[in-house]
Structure 1
Amino acid sequence: MLLSTYLKKVLWMFTAWTGVLKNGHQTIDNFKLNIRQIIQPFVTVKGGLIPALHKVQKEFGFLSKESIKTLAKSFNISDAEVIDVITYYDDFKLEKQGEYIIKVCQAEACQSLGCRELWETLRSHFQLEQDETSNDYMVTLKEVFCLGNCALSPSVMINKDVIGRANSEKILSYLSTRQNNSKND
């Protein structure tokens, strides 16, 4: 894990919760009640924390400080134990992610065909570093290792779509098309 990502997580754990919720107007008590209702089926199940975390993240897009506190209390464990589970698995997010999560493969096959240059171009274009999200929450940029598409390197995954023989023009065109389609829906 990159030092900056680790430091972000550590700082996140020690900062006060701001009270900003997904819909912007839900009270903390209603928020806690909503989380308790979401996780209720998992609380008495052995190993139920992980499915509960998935369910809460699916509902809110990430795991807030208040959701962690509610999960810890419901499962009768410490906040630190919940955070340990969250930070162990890459799929759990402590911060809101972009609408488009761009994962650029950095495995050997992709490196041999220019993924580093592609990464630098995208990083420069979006002005983001590893695991950062744009201020408008449109894009999150990540380096990953092997998307299983080595024959079509370099590969990029945007949300669930894998793009082979990727270049910056192809990626930006893909994003532009998706954004235009979502405006027309």
Structure 2
Amino acid sequence: MHQATPWDAARAEAIVCQHAGLEGPMLPILHALQHEFGHVDEAAAPLIAKSLNLTRAEVHGVITFYNDFRREPAGRHILKLCRGEACQSMGSEALARDFLGKLGIDWHGSTPDGELTVEPVYCLGLCACSPAALLDDEVIGRLDAESLAEAVDAVRA
């Protein structure tokens, strides 16, 4: 997993400038910022707005519309649990509810030690292997409580 760097306004401005000349630059800018810093800091909205001649509200609207953009730093490991219909039919909702309960967090939350953030995703395209998840961009299929706990414990160790 890519280790994010702390927010740096000068580096963020360089990223915005680097992508500003692209056609439809806002999403590439947001992805690049999140890749670099692990989230899109609220200080990014004015930078992007100024560079692209947009309002802060327009930029904020895009950031908040897409579930993939985090506004706060994530944990060291990211678990994305599928909430699509096929996974739901195979028990993903109960699995997620129990797992989140054991961690003491909710969706988009991070464990107190900063090791794990759990996010919903609405289809991984792994319907034949449901319930499914991504853990640090690695696919995990046919999840149950035991296999989910083992996979998370393995990366947190």
TM-score when normalising by structure 1:
0.72
CA distance in 2: counterparts of 1:115 and 1:49, whole angstroms: 33
Shift of 1:134: 2.3
CA distance in 2: counterparts of 1:149 and 1:120, whole angstroms: 20
Matched, 1:34 2:3: no
The corresponding residue for 1:91 is 68
Shift of 1:45: 3.2
The corresponding residue for 1:115 is 92
The corresponding residue for 2:47 is 70
Shift of 1:158: 1.4
Q: Deviations over 1:97-130 (max 9, x none)?
A: 2222222223333233222221122011111112
Residues 21-170 of structure 1: pairs in structure 2 closer than 5 A: 23=6, 31-170=8-147
Amino acid at match of 2:119: K
CA distance in 2: counterparts of 1:80 and 1:154, whole angstroms: 37
Shift of 1:60: 0.8
The higher relative CO (CA closer than 8 Å, separation ≥ 6) is in 2
Unaligned runs of at least 5 residues, structure 2? none
The corresponding residue for 1:16 is none
Shift of 1:37: 1.6
- Give the length in aligned residue pairs: 153
Indicate the SS of the match to 1:130.
coil
Shift of 1:92: 1.6
Indicate the SS of the match to 1:134.
coil
CA distance in 1: counterparts of 2:22 and 2:76, whole angstroms: 32
Report if the CA contact (8 A) 2:115-2:156 is conserved: no
Identity in percent: 32
CA distance in 2: counterparts of 1:99 and 1:79, whole angstroms: 29
Amino acid at match of 1:161: E
TM-score when normalising by structure 2:
0.83
The structure having more radius of gyration, on CA atoms, is 1
